[in-house]
């Protein structure tokens, strides 16, 4: 009697995400890195594939090389003209995770839209965006600065306002009681952050953004909140025997904004960190245990 062979097909799941965060947190650079995933990672994870679906995602892929290697600006991030990135991530099976395909719809908002939540006189502007944010399944909140003043005056009050609105709307909209929030410290290629990336909650947020961390923990249950670290550029080398933790990016010293001018120092050894992990958790509720993604 012949034995039939069962071929397991990858699980397919979808998510509608809003990327919200402060100015200079590198949200568009993050997406450009994700959509242009380096060949080195694709070789390490055979079957890893990123596929653009929307026109904005296609445009970003076309611009990604210049964004990452020359510091170019993606033109679609103006307030009121937020780009819509629809794309698919196929992740092969690992020892700890089954194969899965993530279908993602992502809107990327400029930093001003997040920060206006912390300013009472801009509450009307905040309300314009809130309706759309509350229509999503997930939020990815990107922060990058840990100065005490920003923690106290911008991040904590903005998140307190945002989570207050989420709680109030949850009373009349059941789906909002399931909305998950991934909080991401970006630009972790910086020397003071790179060693802390493996336990982002404890070593980055609890220590460096105390008031922001407290607001998040007080307003969201553990099942709907998780902390991450990511780097669009990575370091020059993190391999055993070749350790070189210097950031793999240049920031021109001509006075231009680092948000739009930072670019890869050596594109041939580009290895970003933690790009997929927050999206994976937001979509599946599970942690992806391989730190390279």
Find the CATH number of the domain harbouring 220. 3.40.50.300
Q: What is the pLDDT of residue 4?
A: 44
In a domain, 2, yes or no: no
**Four-point Cα dihedral 34, 79, 121, 132, nearest 10:** -70
pTM, 2 dp: 0.91
Instruction: List Cα–Cα distances, 215 to 6, 165, 218, in angstroms.
Output: 48, 13, 5
The two tokens of residue 27 are 């949200």
In a domain, 172, yes or no: yes
Q: Specify the pairing of strand 100-108 against strand 84-91.
A: antiparallel
The one-digit pLDDT tens for each residue of the chain (293 residues) are 444 444 456 688 889 999 998 888 888 899 999 999 898 888 888 889 999 999 999 999 999 999 898 888 765 455 667 889 999 999 998 877 889 999 999 988 888 888 889 988 887 888 888 999 999 999 999 998 888 899 999 999 999 999 999 999 999 999 999 999 999 999 999 999 999 999 999 999 999 999 999 999 999 999 999 999 999 999 998 876 678 989 999 876 655 554 456 889 999 999 999 999 999 999 999 998 887 78
**Four-point Cα dihedral 189, 220, 222, 155, nearest 10:** 20
Q: What is the pLDDT of residue 205?
A: 96
In a domain, 80, yes or no: yes
Q: What is the pLDDT of residue 97?
A: 81
Let me know: does 137 contact 17? Beta carbons within 8 Å.
yes
Q: Which residue from 173, 168, 164, 176 is spatially nearest to 139, judged by alpha carbons? A: 176
In a domain, 49, yes or no: yes
Q: What is the pLDDT of residue 136?
A: 94
Q: Specify the pairing of strand 235-237 against strand 244-247.
A: antiparallel
In a domain, 290, yes or no: no
Let me know: does 179 contact 166? Beta carbons within 8 Å.
yes
Question: From CA 78, how far away is CA 146, in angstroms rounded?
Answer: 25
Enumerate residues 6+ apart whose C-beta is below 8 A from 54: 84, 85, 86, 87, 105
Q: What is the pLDDT of residue 253?
A: 65
In a domain, 5, yes or no: no
Which residue matches tokens 């947020």? Answer: 205
> In DSSP terms, which residues pair with 18 in a beta bridge?
107, 139
Count CA atoms closer than 13 A to 157's CA, side-chain side.
14
> In DSSP terms, which residues pair with 86 in a beta bridge?
105
How many domains does the chain divide into? 1
DSSP state of 75: T
In a domain, 99, yes or no: yes
Q: What is the pLDDT of residue 80?
A: 67
In a domain, 289, yes or no: no
Domain that holds residue 72: 11-284
Let me know: does 144 contact 25? Beta carbons within 8 Å.
yes
Q: Specify the pairing of strand 100-108 against strand 249-250.
A: unpaired
């Amino acid at each position: 009697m012949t034995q039939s062979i069962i071929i397991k097909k990858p699980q397919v799941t979808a998510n509608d995400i809003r990327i919200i965060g402060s100015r200079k947190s590198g949200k568009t650079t993050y997406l450009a890195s994700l959509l242009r995933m380096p060949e080195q990672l694709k070789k390490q994870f055979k079957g890893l594939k990123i596929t653009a679906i929307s026109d904005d995602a296609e445009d970003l892929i076309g611009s990604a090389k210049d964004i990452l290697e020359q510091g170019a600006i993606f033109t679609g991030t103006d307030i009121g003209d937020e780009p819509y990135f629809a794309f698919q991530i196929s992740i092969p099976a690992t020892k700890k995770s089954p194969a899965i395909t993530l279908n993602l719809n992502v809107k990327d908002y400029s930093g001003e839209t997040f920060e206006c939540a912390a300013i009472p006189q801009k509450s009307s502007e905040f309300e314009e965006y809130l309706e759309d944010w509350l229509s999503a399944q997930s939020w990815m909140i990107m922060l990058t600065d840990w100065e005490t003043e920003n923690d106290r005056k911008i991040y904590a009050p903005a998140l307190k306002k945002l989570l207050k609105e989420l709680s109030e709307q949850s009373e009349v909209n059941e789906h909002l009681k399931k909305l998950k929030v991934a909080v991401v410290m970006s630009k972790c290629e910086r020397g003071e952050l790179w060693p802390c990336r493996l336990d982002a909650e404890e070593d980055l947020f609890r220590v460096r953004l105390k008031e922001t961390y407290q607001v998040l923990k007080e307003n969201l249950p553990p099942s709907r909140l998780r902390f991450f670290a990511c780097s669009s550029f990575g370091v020059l080398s993190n391999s055993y025997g070749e350790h070189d933790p210097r950031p793999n990016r240049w920031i021109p010293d001509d006075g231009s904004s680092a948000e739009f001018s930072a670019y890869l120092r050596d594109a041939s050894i580009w290895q970003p960190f933690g790009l997929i992990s927050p999206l994976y958790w937001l979509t599946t509720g599970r942690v992806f245990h391989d730190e390279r993604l």
